[in-house]
Structure 1
């Protein structure tokens, strides 16, 4: 199943090979006897033609040289001999005599001895011969097969290519001849070779076709991953088959709508924050004329908080509207330098990591998200211990403090913009409540997330980032 799920090309190749094997099997079942019958008929025709020629030669020559003529016409697969008596009525007796002659070399040559051994081995291994054709006896040949005026008796020696013939000569003697060849095994080897060549050719064509089909899909996956991580992506090429063109067009339209939506919301947020400055300034001037000092101080404190929230909103909007370029950095070096900077400022921050991690991200935005969490740990938990762990599919940046932690039911609520825990993150010691929201937004734009988990003696903030992006995953799969 792991091989099957690996790629579309693998599935195409497996299905193609299965279809090819099935078609070859069906074809073999339909025509498995055609080749054997054709070879048998060809051997039979050649055998009868040669036997007829030898019979005519014996009838036109002296009986004294019969043995020389039969010996001269013997071949590796054929034997001739002359008898005074007709062939026995029992065909098995004649078959045994024929096989005895076929399995003996007619000369002392190595090739003749080798052929005799091959016929004998084939006879023993495949159990062919007289026992394989019990029940079949002598038959008379038709005029189409036997052209001599003298009648001949024909017999099968085995289920393959072994045949025999007995024909009466004009002098009253009988010419006997037998022919046999080992069963041909080249058919299976040639069929296997043909299947292998066909399968290899179709596999190569299938791989090329599958790559042509999956290439636009890989581009789409890379673009979707980049879009999900907030990267600026170029529109997909709208080429290829109609289905792929429609898919690329739909993705490009979706990307344009999302970018336009985000840009509109960011501009609206920036405009609201900017427009609030004027009424806040006007309200501050009017507050200065309030006679009651206590009321005036409370109103100014409220106005200051509103101004801080407005400034934070404007800062957030400006950073969101700025399209930072994605680049490869050393993530460990980024966290190390950030921790060292905060430690130089007098904060209790330590970083533990001993390996280099190459990562593709928007470095300034990610640095801000990590800084927000470290500063929160120092502010509310006295110190921050930072570490990085790298897994197979993710990279975790862990920040631990020694603070009071947070109630588990509020672990998600603290990420809501402008939300603050009054008992520890109050207005005097905390910000406006955008730090965690901004940090999570940045991390999620990189395809990751942030979790806050209580631990014995403090809080653990975990930034989880994807270890590899779509480009690397698709390159590894290819």
Structure 2
């Protein structure tokens, strides 16, 4: 039971900790400083301030006890005058006799409780008579009243006679020091975190395929090393993409030339079942080449644009309708997203055409996500895919068909291209069971 409670408490502590690097770094620096200041302040008040205050309170209580005893020994006007004058000159106490008066009933307590406690304890030890005091009414004095026969003996004592008055200055200096150290820590930590934020922004922009931002290594040595490594990695990846695209484009161009000659020869030949079959094979080969090139080209150099999603999806839906599927669209005409239109259109076309091929009814919905961004949901009533093979469906050249039947159109790149495009926008594609009974593909795009 204790182990479970410890784990629950540990998880609660983790939830309360800052989530950002700036917040955690600030906590690492400021928290020890603040704890040290609190510890030093506590030790100061416990070992020094309270000791000094107790001694002062005891001394004041002794003087008041002497004044009360002296008055009680000779309660005459001349004797009280001499007592009052002596107390004023030697002790700095202002003593007045309030005849016929009683001690006040109500009492106001000081905001700083140790002051009242020290004086209360000292007066209780030295006086046998009832007493009352107030440390809040006068800024420079402490009002102390003692019950005597025939009235009340009122004593106004300077505050520095009752307790140490410079303790608040020490607390003020400690507070100022803590605030100053915190401000310096914020300044330095912010400069270090800003360099990491710039690196993260550059990496995110590159991951989404946007234009390369003006970025150079900045910050601490370790951060500059990471930034330099990122720039080198970005150059290698860009060079690899360019080489792959150039290679596939060259292969595509070289293959299209003999394909064109074959198409021309078949067009000029006598119609027959054999020539019809050969024409289908040529068209299938041309379609394969187009898919290979689309997969290799990725998103090309297309820039980001703000588009209306409903209009883009309506264009995609026309292809599915021409394929004979019934397509229903549910999308708010006001929903927009910053995307690469041609790339997203190609990805959605792959999803929608895949749904149209395997099902008769296709539903497309566009909606806002609770955490920002939008999602495009494509449902069909086809046979669907087993849940344990969802990730396998995204593998390039995978068909979820053990026989890899070449009579099936396509080469297994549709979902791979679609996910590549979605992730290139900073989003993703997930598969699920559709309410229609088939497959649901959800395209998630960031805001």
Whole-Å Cα distance in 2 between the matches of residues 246 and 428 of structure 1? 52
Match for residue 349 of structure 1? 327
Match for residue 96 of structure 2? 105
CA contact 1:385–1:401 (8 Å) conserved in 2: yes
Q: How far is the alpha carbon of 1:339 from its aligned partner?
A: 4.2
Aligned in 2, Cα 1:248/1:433: closer, same or farther, shift over 3 Å?
closer
Match for residue 440 of structure 1? 419
Q: Which runs of 5+ in 1 are unaligned?
A: 44-64, 80-101, 134-178, 469-478
Q: Does 1:250 align with 2:234?
A: no
Aligned in 2, Cα 1:210/1:247: closer, same or farther, shift over 3 Å?
same
Q: Does 1:218 align with 2:197?
A: yes
Match for residue 7 of structure 1? 20
Q: Deviations over 1:87-140 (max 9, x none)?
A: xxxxxxxxxxxxxxx6942799xxxx9xxx99xx9699521048379xxxxxxx
Aligned in 2, Cα 1:417/1:26: closer, same or farther, shift over 3 Å?
closer
Q: Deviations over 1:179-211 (max 9, x none)?
A: 986532644543443333333333222222221
Match for residue 326 of structure 1? 304
Match for residue 190 of structure 1? 169
Whole-Å Cα distance in 2 between the matches of residues 388 and 417 of structure 1? 27
CA contact 2:305–2:340 (8 Å) conserved in 1: yes
Question: TM-score by structure 2 length?
Answer: 0.66
Aligned in 2, Cα 1:24/1:381: closer, same or farther, shift over 3 Å?
closer
Q: How far is the alpha carbon of 1:385 from its aligned partner?
A: 0.9
The equivalences for 1:160-171 within 5 A come to: none
Alpha-carbon RMSD across the aligned residues, in angstroms, is: 5.1
CA contact 2:53–2:164 (8 Å) conserved in 1: no
Question: TM-score by structure 1 length?
Answer: 0.62
Match for residue 338 of structure 2? 360
CA contact 2:320–2:356 (8 Å) conserved in 1: no
Q: Which range moved further: 365-374 or 297-306? A: 297-306
Q: How far is the alpha carbon of 1:366 from its aligned partner?
A: 1.0
Aligned in 2, Cα 1:445/1:180: closer, same or farther, shift over 3 Å?
closer
Q: Which runs of 5+ in 2 are unaligned?
A: 1-12, 58-77, 110-114, 128-156
Q: How far is the alpha carbon of 1:214 from its aligned partner?
A: 0.8
Q: Indicate which of 100, 110, 125 corresponds to 1:131.
A: 125
Instruction: Please tell me whether Structure 1 or Structure 2 has the larger radius of gyration of its CA atoms.
Output: 1
Whole-Å Cα distance in 1 between the matches of residues 169 and 310 of structure 2? 62
The count of residues paired between Structure 1 and Structure 2 equals: 381
The equivalences for 1:33-432 within 5 A come to: 71-72=84-85, 74-75=87-88, 78=91, 104-105=95-96, 126-129=120-123, 131=125, 183-184=162-163, 186-281=165-260, 298-317=277-296, 319-320=297-298, 322-332=300-310, 334-335=312-313, 338-339=316-317, 348-354=326-332, 356-393=334-371, 395-406=374-385, 411-420=390-399, 430-432=409-411
Q: How far is the alpha carbon of 1:323 from its aligned partner?
A: 0.9
Whole-Å Cα distance in 1 between the matches of residues 229 and 206 of structure 2? 14
CA contact 1:332–1:357 (8 Å) conserved in 2: yes
CA contact 1:400–1:459 (8 Å) conserved in 2: yes
Q: Indicate which of 23, 26, 33 corresponds to 1:19.
A: 33
